[in-house]
Amino acid sequence: MRNYVILRTFYEKIFLFGSGNFWYEENEIGDDSTRYYKAYKATLFTLYGLMTALEVMGAIFGDFPEDEKQDCIALAVAHTIVMLKIFSIDANTKLIRTMNRNMVEICEPYEQQKLMEEKFRMVKVNLAAYFTTVWGSTFCFVLEGFRKLYQDSHFVTAVTYYPSYNDNTIGATMFRLFITVVLLAMMVTMTVCVDCIIVVYLILLKYKFIALRHYFENLAEEFSKMNQANPRLAAERLTDGFVEGVKMHIDLLRMAEDIDQAFGTVMALQLCLSSGSAVSLLLQFAVNDNLTFVAGMKILLFILAIFILLGLFLCNAGEITYQASLLTDAIFYCGWHACAPQTPPQRDIRRLVVLPCAQSQRPLIMKAFNMFELSYGTFLQVCYLMKSYIINNK
């Protein structure tokens, strides 16, 4: 039940942070249809939208020093994409609830304890790397704001159209502090309610394919042992087990399609954000000789965070493609060739094995917008293109 524990823990946090109830069991986590919860959710999303709108206005119309102007542009682009990601997840609530049930139930009886422990460890490592960089960057944004305050300037994290740069009144200071609180809340929603849950889904699906491969391998071993004593019973057991394995394979392929539908837009937006923002920030870091240590760390951690998230999306999706490809040999060598031909009404595994083998040979390539392949190759290509762009424009 490790999948159940992982997913439910996350969706309890998601409900707490105001994104709604995505869990498939009714009234197990909370009721997001109450008047108070709807008001809570609407307030959060309105504040996020207000901050993003003010950042966009600041990027277009604001009169700020060079460093604040660059921060304003970078955050305006990033937070606009974050808002689109949040709304994309919210629009797929029903599908995600169905996916939660399927992710818990498919292959669940055949997931080995050792494999489950490895999966849980992989989830923790991936999320720890992402959280460290994201919140490290956020901490540097706040620290840089305090540094400016102590250098006879004003405290600022997210640069917005209001207040203006020269406005240091109490009202302006309070508004900047308020925007910082909104920024922190938005970071919680983005990291926990959007990015992390997608990473978790990709990792869980990868291990589902590994569990299914082990299932077919164990099926072959059991058939080999039983076939020596009772060939007919061994053939019947193999046929029944093979049919069940094929059903699980079809369910996993359908699950991959659901993940594409529910999260494909988010991953495509992250691809655009990582490539665009990283180029801008790397150029800013390369050409600016007056950056303080904290300001430099703020930029570097921001770049590292969006690169790590893109890597988690693309590399875990690429790992799904790889693990799914290994099923071909596991299915083919399940032992069907050692079974005697069966006559109707008995099922002949020799005929049953043809379609699953052909189906498993078709590469399971996850895509965003049905255009961008989510794979190791895409991640390396993005890194190479950004490196080339920076070198050519330096």
User: Is 35 a residue whose pLDDT tops 90?
Assistant: yes
Mean pLDDT of the residues in the chain? 87
191 closest CA partner among 122, 258, 132, 139 = 132
Query: What is the pLDDT at residue 294?
Result: 81
Structure-model confidence comparison of residues 367 and 46, the more confident one: 46
User: Is 364 a residue whose pLDDT tops 70?
Assistant: yes
CB 211 within 8 A of CB 112: yes
Structural domain that includes position 232: 2-393
Structural domain count, the chain: 1
Question: What are the pLDDT digits (tens) for 54-109?
Answer: 999 999 999 998 888 888 988 898 899 999 999 999 999 999 999 999 999 999 88
Percent of the chain with pLDDT over 70: 92
To which residue do tokens 């240091």 refer?
168
d(CA 31, CA 47): 22
Range of weakest confidence among 218-232, 309-323, 334-348, 374-388? 334-348
Range of weakest confidence among 10-24, 267-281, 295-309? 267-281
Q: Where are the beta strands (DSSP E) in 93-143?
A: none
Contact residues for 117 (Cβ-Cβ < 8 A; gap 6+):
none
Q: What is the pTM of this model?
A: 0.92
Query: What is the pLDDT at residue 302?
Result: 83
CB 344 within 8 A of CB 237: no
Place 20 in a pLDDT band, splitting at 50, 70 and 90: very high
Query: What is the pLDDT at residue 340?
Result: 63
Place 337 in a pLDDT band, splitting at 50, 70 and 90: confident
Q: What is the mean pLDDT of residues 361-371?
A: 78
- Angle in degrees, CA 227, 229, 233, rounded to 5: 60
d(CA 229, CA 13): 53
Token pair listed for 56:
């966009």
d(CA 63, CA 65): 7
Amino acid at 318: G
Winning range, highest mean pLDDT, from 41-50, 67-76, 160-169: 41-50
User: Is 312 a residue whose pLDDT tops 60?
Assistant: yes
User: Is 369 a residue whose pLDDT tops 90?
Assistant: no
Structure-model confidence comparison of residues 137 and 274, the more confident one: 137
Amino acid at 281: L
Question: What are the pLDDT digits (tens) for 188-215?
Answer: 999 999 999 999 999 999 999 999 999 9
User: Is 238 a residue whose pLDDT tops 60?
Assistant: yes
106 closest CA partner among 203, 194, 21, 207 = 207
Query: What is the pLDDT at residue 187?
Result: 95
Contact residues for 225 (Cβ-Cβ < 8 A; gap 6+):
none
Give the rounded distance of the alpha carbon of 117 from its chain centre: 20
Burial of 125 (0-12, 13-18, 19+ CB in 10 A): exposed
Q: How many CB atoms lie within 10 A of CB 208?
A: 27
318 closest CA partner among 368, 356, 265 = 368
Place 377 in a pLDDT band, splitting at 50, 70 and 90: confident
d(CA 215, CA 198): 26
Contact residues for 342 (Cβ-Cβ < 8 A; gap 6+):
235, 239, 348, 349
User: Is 274 a residue whose pLDDT tops 70?
Assistant: yes
